[in-house]
Amino acid sequence: QSALTQPRSVSGSPGQSVTISCTGTSRDVGGYNYVSWYQQHPGKAPKLMIYDVIKRPSGVPDRFSGSRSGTTASLTISGLQADDEADYYCCSYTGTYISYVFGSGTQVTVL
């Protein structure tokens, strides 16, 4: 199955907001409430930031929020901080087969 489409990079100044999009199809992003987002710092394992489209795990700051419109999910980081600089991946369950598909990843740069 094809990877979900994410922008290669986004950037913002400290304190600003950035939004990362994740575009799929009705067979994945648009069809199930199983969209999640992961933050990955260099040399580290991914960390779950958002699950079930909009839910935040315990310990994740409320500056991180998820949403979805049709077949596009989004991750918004508000009040950008230096430590937010990382790669971010979206993931969706896909019902074409019982499987999970990831986005290609977005590098967030804090200017």
Partner 1 sequence: QVQLQESGPGLVKPSETLSLTCTVSGGSVSSANYYWSWLRQPPGKGLEWIGYIYFSGSTIYSPSLKSRVTMSVDTSKNHFALKLGSVTAADTALYYCATTRTYCAGGDCYPGGDFDNWGQGALVTVSS
Give the footprint of partner 1 on this chain (CB under 8 A): 1, 3, 32-36, 38, 45-48, 51-52, 57, 89, 91-93, 97-105
Q: What angle do CA 3, 6, 8 make, to 5 degrees?
A: 115
Task: Closer to partner 1 by CB, 78 or 93: give it.
Answer: 93
Shortest Cβ 29–partner 1 spacing (Å): 11
Give min distance, CB of 56 to partner 1, in A. Answer: 12
Secondary structure (DSSP) of 40-63 = E-TTS--EEEEBTTTB--TTS-TT
Name every residue whose Cβ is closer than 8 Å to that of residue 98 and which is 6 or more positions away in sequence.
none
Q: Which of residues 15 and 71 has its CB atom nearest to partner 1 in the complex?
A: 71
Cβ distance to partner 1 smaller for residue 47 or 63 = 47
Distance in Å, CB of 33 to partner 1, minimum: 7
Phi (first) and psi of residue 83, to 5 degrees: -70, -10
